[in-house]
Chains A and B, each alone.
Chain A
Amino acid sequence: MKLFFGKGKKVEEKIYEYLDYVIQTKDLFYKVIMHYLEGKLKDNFFEESVYSVHFKESKADDLRREIECELYGKALLPEFREDVLNLLEVLDKLPNRCESVLFMISLEGIEVPNEMKEEFKSLIKVNVRSIVQTVDLVKALLSNPENVQKYVLIIDKTESESDKIERKMISELFKKIHIEKADKILLKDLILEIGSISDFAEKISDNVNMINIKTRV
């Protein structure tokens, strides 16, 4: 049974709603990027789906602003208000990165060489996993703070795994793949952009950890 009600309760419900949007954006992102890695860059599904991800991302943005308004309306004590605002700010980077990866592919017309497709899939899977772990982490903060530390460690591990894959991919890209240098740079940027999802997941986990420590008096 929850111990509270009022404005705080309303904000908490909206944060759960926001987390649902993050998961929906992640699901759509995964579906679209896997479709792309099957070599179907130019078809209608890809282009339409990119805009669907964009639509989900802006819905999440709207909800975040609503939560911020509630918070500025004194829904929390000032010392907690600041922390939750910072958390929302950095949490928003997750759907935002999903959108920007797809826009990069769509606008720059990046094509992944066949030799790298499996590694791209691995990188995507690891980073998508970090989104799910982050959502679980935030849910733990809101419902079961004792589990926060467990998720912080898991996310840290996922981020290291992503870093390792990124370094290996970039090294192979410049050593073994025979394409134009400009295309290599575009691919390198794409790898780093995908990898930034788990980087942000780690930043969020730091924030959540700090909030959790602050709830110990």
Chain B
Amino acid sequence: MGELYYFSSSLFLGWSIGTNDSANVFGTAVGSRMVKYRTAIILCAIFVVLGAYLEGAEGIKTIGNLTGQTLKTAFISSLVAAITVTYMTYLGLPVSTSQAAVGAILGIGIYNHSINLSGLTKVFICWVGTPIGAVISSILLYIVIAFFINKLHLTIFELDFLLRGGLVVAGCYGAYALGANNVANVIGVFGNIIKLKPEILALIGGLSIALGVLTYSKNVMFTVGKKLVPLDAFSAFIAILGQAITVHFYAKVGVPVSTSQAIIGAVLGIGLLKGMRTINLKTLLRIILGWIATPLISGIISYIIVLIFK
């Protein structure tokens, strides 16, 4: 029962991932009213849980091995990550849950003098690699899929059907990748503390993300959807697929990354290919700032809290 209490901050973090990040996978389809909100959240919740359960264990190991943790410090780092995410979202600043979670864990690791440097390097490389990987995957996907679609000489109704289906499938895959990758942010910190199988931990984390998707994702989904809608349906489909492949790749590597930064990278890739300016310099600077500011803020807060309550 006591363990459950310590778990609550993680579940809160999972819930906030669900409320925010589901927009990156289903926002376009819902914002342009191609898929009903209700259908989108049900599909999203199912695939998030599946992704977390089937492929979330690897990331849980990475995060669990990043620093030495106790039940109390794990509770604090999850709570700080959740507070950082909520506060930065409230301020309208770009925020990645992965970066907030890792920052909070590191704050405690610095206090305890127990940081796994090779694990940390791996995490930083993956963060930088996320938008870059999404740029490359979206460019490659665009070229290959466009080639085959053009070969088929589809009618307008056939292309419409294909793209609608594609957006739903890519959304489901994106939700699966989100669950597989981001569940480590939710529950990874407890990986080496709680005596449960990683799959069961992943399932609990996945369910908390799904709960966020089902209860409070509407506003963000419509807002993000409208931001991405100026893309044509094919580009939106490629952007979501490119993002999902990138995030899934990092789930396999075992490092939780930002789905928001992945979708920005994917949109940038399409813009580069089509000679369009889809992302401005300000957005890119915000990503780079996010890499530094988010872990720094959550790291400092968790360090201070551990210092106060030691």
Q: Which single residue of chain B is at the shortest CB-CB distance from A4?
A: B161
What is the 8 Å Cβ interface bit string for chain B, positions 112-131, against chain A (1 contact, 0 not)?
00000000000000000000
Q: Which A56-98 residues have a C-beta within 8 angstroms of B? A: 74, 76-80, 83-84
* CB pair A8 B34 closer than 8 Å: no
State the interface size on chain A (CB cutoff 8 A): 28
Measured between beta carbons, the chain B residues less than 8 angstroms from A141 are 155-156
Q: Name the segment of B13-21, B45-53, B83-91, B145-153 touching the other chain.
A: B145-153
Chain A nearest Cβ from B140, distance in angstroms:
15
Q: Which single residue of chain A is at the shortest CB-CB distance from B233?
A: A77
* CB pair A6 B154 closer than 8 Å: no
| Given A3-B162, A77-B34, A78-B32, A217:B157 Cβ within 8 A | no
Partner of A3, one of B33, B145, B154, B229: B154
* CB pair A8 B157 closer than 8 Å: yes
* CB pair A80 B149 closer than 8 Å: no
* CB pair B150 A217 closer than 8 Å: yes
Q: In whole angstroms, what is the CA distance A212 to B157 when docked?
A: 11
Q: In whole angstroms, what is the CA distance A208 to B26 when docked?
A: 31
Partner of A11, one of B149, B157, B158: B157
Q: Which single residue of chain B is at the shortest CB-CB distance from A142?
A: B155
Q: Which single residue of chain A is at the shortest CB-CB distance from B235?
A: A217
* CB pair A4 B234 closer than 8 Å: no
Any B CB within 8 A of the CB of A215: yes
Total of A-B residue pairs, C-beta within 8 Å: 63
Q: What range describes how many residues of B lie at the interface?
A: 20 to 34
Any B CB within 8 A of the CB of A146: yes
Any B CB within 8 A of the CB of A211: yes
How would you classify the secondary structure of chain B's contact residues: helix, strand, loop or mixed? helix
Measured between beta carbons, the chain A residues less than 8 angstroms from B32 are 77-78
Q: Which B210-255 residues have a C-beta within 8 angstroms of A? A: 229, 232-234
Chain A nearest Cβ from B227, distance in angstroms:
15
Chain B nearest Cβ from A26, distance in angstroms:
24
Q: Which A108-157 residues have a C-beta within 8 angstroms of B? A: 141-143, 145-146
Chain B nearest Cβ from A112, distance in angstroms:
42
Chain A nearest Cβ from B177, distance in angstroms:
23
Partner of B164, one of A77, A145, A212: A77
| Given A78-B32, A216-B150, A2:B158 Cβ within 8 A | yes
| Given A77-B34, A77-B164, A146-B153, A4:B146 Cβ within 8 A | no
* CB pair A83 B232 closer than 8 Å: no
* CB pair B149 A217 closer than 8 Å: yes
Q: Which single residue of chain A is at the shortest CB-CB distance from B161?
A: A4
Q: In whole angstroms, what is the CA distance A13 to B32 when docked?
A: 25
Q: In whole angstroms, what is the CA distance A130 to B243 when docked?
A: 48
Any A CB within 8 A of the CB of B3: no
Q: In whole angstroms, what is the CA distance A12 to B158 when docked?
A: 10
Q: In whole angstroms, what is the CA distance A184 to B186 when docked?
A: 85
Q: In whole angstroms, what is the CA distance A141 to B146 when docked?
A: 19
Any B CB within 8 A of the CB of A31: no
Q: Which single residue of chain B is at the shortest CB-CB distance from A214?
A: B156
Q: Which single residue of chain B is at the shortest CB-CB distance from A83?
A: B156
Any B CB within 8 A of the CB of A167: no
Chain A nearest Cβ from B163, distance in angstroms:
6
Q: In whole angstroms, what is the CA distance A35 to B233 when docked?
A: 51
Q: In whole angstroms, what is the CA distance A146 to B150 when docked?
A: 11
Chain A nearest Cβ from B146, distance in angstroms:
5
Measured between beta carbons, the chain B residues less than 8 angstroms from A84 are 156
Q: Which A1-26 residues have a C-beta within 8 angstroms of B? A: 2-6, 8-9, 11-12
Partner of B161, one of A6, A74, A78, A217: A6
Chain B nearest Cβ from A44, distance in angstroms:
44
A-B contact pairs, 13 of them (CB 8 A): A3-B161, A8-B161, A74-B33, A77-B32, A77-B34, A77-B233, A78-B32, A79-B232, A79-B233, A83-B156, A214-B156, A215-B159, A217-B234
Residues in A lying within 8 Å of B, measured CB to CB: 2-6, 8-9, 11-12, 74, 76-80, 83-84, 141-143, 145-146, 211-212, 214-217
Residues in B lying within 8 Å of A, measured CB to CB: 32-34, 145-146, 149-150, 153-164, 229, 232-234
